[in-house]
Amino acid sequence: MRLILPEGSFKAYLFDCDGTIADSMPLHYRAWKQALEEWNCEFDEELFYAWGGMPVAEIIATLNHRHGLSMPVEAVAHRKEKLYFQLLPELKPVPDVLEHIEAKPRGIPFAVVSGSTRESVTASLVSLNLLDRFDAMVCAGDYEKSKPDPEAFLLAAARLGVAPEDCLVFEDTEMGIQAAQAAGMASVKVPPPWERA
């Protein structure tokens, strides 16, 4: 399976990280399951994928609200990240996206735009030997409103000094695609793991 890019000449590529550059969603789900089981909190896999791109703290707060729980957001987030870091040796890149990163067109800056923490994104990219390919990173904590709001993508474009309409976004989630559209950017949808096999 190859990714079909939209027509046009783009001046910057913006990549989501989890599920787009890194085939990390199954590993993140395992970490979530283990962290939440310690609080007897259910987190359905379908819901996990539907919430792709939502920051960790927001997921925990939303689960607290849904299940009438009072999990300590910071402690659970820290535990979940720690469990994910333990799984990093298993991490692989998404092949079709890796192809585009490795064939980086000359003079086109790359940015990572993620709902994950900077620590998590950096750890994933270091594990894949890809950290040095990116000119900018926009992660949870850098912006106020998460995807589907366009703020994170607009911030990345500004950091690269490229107009939003000249950016191409690589995204695996519906929320991410909506955020790209709201930012006035072209996008390419990366299929989920079960469609790539």
98 pLDDT above the threshold of 70: yes
- pLDDT at residue 91 tops 80: yes
Q: Does a structural domain hold residue 7? A: no
Let me know if residue 47 belongs to a domain: yes
Query: Hey, what are 107's tokens?
Result: 């003079």
Residue 197 has what pLDDT? 65
CA distance 170 to 173: 10
- Could you please report the per-residue DSSP string of the chain? --PPPPSS--SEEEE-SBTTTB--HHHHHHHHHHHHHTTT----HHHHHHTTT--HHHHHHHHHHHHT----HHHHHHHHHHHHHHHGGG--B-HHHHHHHHT--TT--EEEE-SS-HHHHHHHHHHTT-GGG-SEEE-TTS-SS-TTSSHHHHHHHHHHT--GGGEEEEESSHHHHHHHHHTT-EEEEPPPHHHH-
For residue 4, is it within any domain?
no
Buried b (16+ CB within 10 A) or exposed e, 89-120: eebebbebbbebbeeeeeebbbbbbbbbbeeb
Among 66, 89, 112, residue at a domain's last position: 89
Residues spanned by the domain of 29 = 25-89
State the catalytic residues. Answer: 16
Is residue 2 in some structural domain?
no
Q: What is the pLDDT of residue 4?
A: 86
Q: What is the pTM of this model?
A: 0.92
Model pLDDT for residues 154-189, shown as the tens digit of each residue: 999 999 999 999 999 999 999 999 999 999 999 999
| CATH code of the domain in which 127 resides | 3.40.50.1000
User: Are 40 and 134 in the same domain?
Assistant: no
